[in-house]
Amino acid sequence: MWVYEKKLQYPVKVSTCNPQLAKFLVEQYGGADGELAAALRYLNQRYTIPDKVVGLLNDIGTEEFAHLEMIAAMVYKLTKDATPEQLKQAGLGDHYVNHGEALFYSNAAEVPFTATYIQAKGDPIADLYEDIAAEEKARATYQWIIDMSDDVDLNDSLRFLREREIVHSQRFREAVEILKEERDRKKVF
């Protein structure tokens, strides 16, 4: 069960219209290492993970949807006042022709989201290592977007998201250790 509050997990502010920055952010919306892929990956993997850590996947998967909502708000705010010409100059002309001002799940290169981004092996430790890698890739991508941005207001929200990726990676590392300890414990019948 979810309880939804009609507010973002962390405030999203932008200083100015910037379609080019929005194009970069779309990577975290519908890219392989973005928030949608992470949310779906974790909420899918929870069905084959031991009970000791299933809550972790549920909690982080749900939080990833909150991050997806923040990215959507950022992209919207960065493009809402853009003219079609500005969108075209930012490399979003094809997107505008196909979707108008609507968001669409794709990466920064406009490759549509695909289920192949969602990894699930069914081996809890292998899946958790995949999750750690996904969080670290997302952290790196947020840092690179921050490096490309001169919007101090937006960068505050991006730093929040980057830090949450670090926390998630740490929590998944803890879960791996819990499962390794459980696996290696002698079992007496």
Q: Which residues are annotated as a binding site for Mn(2+)?
A: 35, 64, 67, 135, 168
Name the binding residues: 35, 59, 64, 67, 135, 168
Identify whether the C-beta of residue 12 lies closer than 8 Å to the C-beta of residue 97. Answer: no
Beta bridge partners of 106: 112
Name the binding residues for Ca(2+): 59
Please tell me the number of Cα atoms within 13 Å of 111 on its side-chain side: 11
Give the Cα separation of 86 and 109 in Å (integer).
17
Query: Residue 53's CB: how many other CB atoms inside 10 A?
Result: 20
For 49, the 3-state DSSP assignment is: coil
Identify whether the C-beta of residue 66 lies closer than 8 Å to the C-beta of residue 9. Answer: yes
Please tell me the number of Cα atoms within 13 Å of 46 on its side-chain side: 16
141: tokens are 């991508």
